[in-house]
Chain A
Amino acid sequence: MACRMKKQVLSYFLGELCEEEKKAIHNHAETCPECGGLLEEFGEAGEFLAKRKLPEVSDILVKDCLRKIKNTARSQERASILERLSSRFIWRPKLVWRGAVLVAVFCSGVGLGKLLFDPPTWLERYERTFPSKEWSGKVDDSRSLRNYFLSVETLLLDFANMENSALLDEEEWALEREVIREMLSRTRRIKEIAENDAPELYRLVSEIEWVLESVLGTVEMNLAELSEDVRKRIGEQQLLIKIHDYIS
């Protein structure tokens, strides 16, 4: 039959008992072969265990542990900063509005600055007003400017050679006036565009404007007189030659 004191023998061996209890177990073990044998077994096992060579820890392991913790702490810090930033700025409607206003002010500033310090050329302004379908930014490629001059030339030549044409009725005259007015209006806008930085174009367009104004003023005259008037004005200005020179 197992001795009831066995549990106490282990406690005795583990040094968990007070002096009085220790004495009691010691005395018991001397008379109980089972408990005496246990104490002997534990003692021997303890002696073996005391001789154990424990594995040494390498410096590399220590460094690796510290490095891993350091890297983890850094990534946690970064994540926490991002979280704080997002909670502070991104999801607050007031700040979103402030941000939008700041961006708008910045963009306007950039646009204004570009306008003040890097204004568009006359040709760019012209192309914005009368855009060509495929314009590469060069004068020669500004098809709408070229077309303008060709239209002016055709219109003036038409009027200059009208003397032999059939008489125009009121409705036809109204249409002719409308064509001249439209051409005059376009001419004036080109003149505005060219005023500051395209002196050659400005001079030419001014002459065209003067001729067209004259034509519009005398369009009520009979055709023979009108043609004569147009030819005279074109000739005085050598306008057609100038147009040809300009567009070539």
Chain B
Amino acid sequence: MGSDDEKWVRQTQEGSRRAFDSLVLKYVERIFRLLYDITGNYEDAQDLTQEAFLRAFLNIQQYRGDAKFSTWLYRIAYNLGIDFKRKGRRMPRAGGDFHEQKTTLDRFVSISDQEYTGESEALEAALQRLTSSQRLAVVLYYYHGFRMREIGEILGCSEGTARVHLFRALRRLRKELRDYSSKV
């Protein structure tokens, strides 16, 4: 845990809300991006980001410093995002037109196949086609700077499993993006 994080967490546990504000300012962008990668939707990611920080604030006394604060916070956000996704996917089964009730992520993927032509859009589409564990292993490593052990902690699996997710994700991404490049 960074020394600033350590200080701010301790101050928050002692009752300083302003110290937690510093943690919010430091991590809000990263947590939002993580949740965007889980949900694939800007608005959902925003709502869940607020919820994640609120939960962290309410449970800050339970944080004992066994893991880095960032790992603990990411774990809260990851669980929220995955829970949201699960609930979202259950909705179509309740009845009605399945196609109309598709999740935002499904729509994003289906649109990307037809309309996204740029390389960055192709990358987004390829990322969304990965399983959520593979996608998160990639984004947590590349964009959030976590080590494989920490990624395992966030995803709730062993370091070895997290490595397998990353290994497969990289191979699949490279294949899809190469296919895209050859088509263009």
A-to-B contact residues, CB < 8 Å:
7, 10, 14, 16, 38, 41-42, 44-46, 48-55, 57-58, 61-62, 64-66, 68-70, 72-73
Q: Pick the residue among B28, B141, B143, B173 that contacts A48 (CB under 8 A).
A: B173
Contacts of A45 on B, CB cut-off 8 Å? 170-171, 173-174, 177
The answer to whether B128 has its CB under 8 Å from any CB of chain A is: no
Q: Cβ of B24 and Cβ of A52 under 8 Å apart?
A: no
* A10, A51, A65 pick with most chain B CB within 10 angstroms: A65
Q: A51-B120, A52-B127 are in contact. List 11 more A-B contacts (CB 8 A).
A: A10-B167, A45-B173, A49-B138, A51-B119, A57-B28, A61-B32, A61-B50, A64-B50, A66-B21, A66-B24, A70-B17
For chain B residues 1-36, which have a beta carbon within 8 Å of chain A? 17, 20-21, 24-25, 28-29, 32-33, 36
Contacts of B49 on A, CB cut-off 8 Å? 61, 65
Question: In angstroms, how far is the closest chain A Cβ from the Cβ of B138?
Answer: 7
The answer to whether B163 has its CB under 8 Å from any CB of chain A is: yes
The answer to whether B84 has its CB under 8 Å from any CB of chain A is: no
Question: In angstroms, how far is the closest chain A Cβ from the Cβ of B57?
Answer: 5
Q: Cβ of A55 and Cβ of B33 under 8 Å apart?
A: yes
Per-residue CB proximity of B163-184 to A under 8 Å, as 1/0?
1001100110111011000000
Q: Cβ of A58 and Cβ of B174 under 8 Å apart?
A: no
Looking at chain A's contact residues, is the secondary structure mostly helix, strand, loop, or mixed? helix
- What is the interface size of chain B, counting residues whose CB is below 8 A from a CB of the partner? 40
A235 to B138, CA, bound (A): 122
Contacts of A49 on B, CB cut-off 8 Å? 123, 138, 142, 173
Q: Cβ of B163 and Cβ of A72 under 8 Å apart?
A: no
Contacts of B171 on A, CB cut-off 8 Å? 38, 41, 45
Contacts of B124 on A, CB cut-off 8 Å? 52
Q: Cβ of A55 and Cβ of B178 under 8 Å apart?
A: no
Q: Cβ of A57 and Cβ of B32 under 8 Å apart?
A: yes
Contacts of B20 on A, CB cut-off 8 Å? 69, 73
A123 to B36, CA, bound (A): 83
Contacts of B138 on A, CB cut-off 8 Å? 49
A136 to B57, CA, bound (A): 64
**17 pairs from A and B in contact (CB 8 Å cutoff):** A7-B163, A10-B167, A14-B166, A41-B171, A45-B170, A48-B119, A48-B174, A49-B123, A52-B124, A52-B143, A54-B33, A55-B33, A65-B50, A66-B24, A69-B17, A72-B58, A73-B57
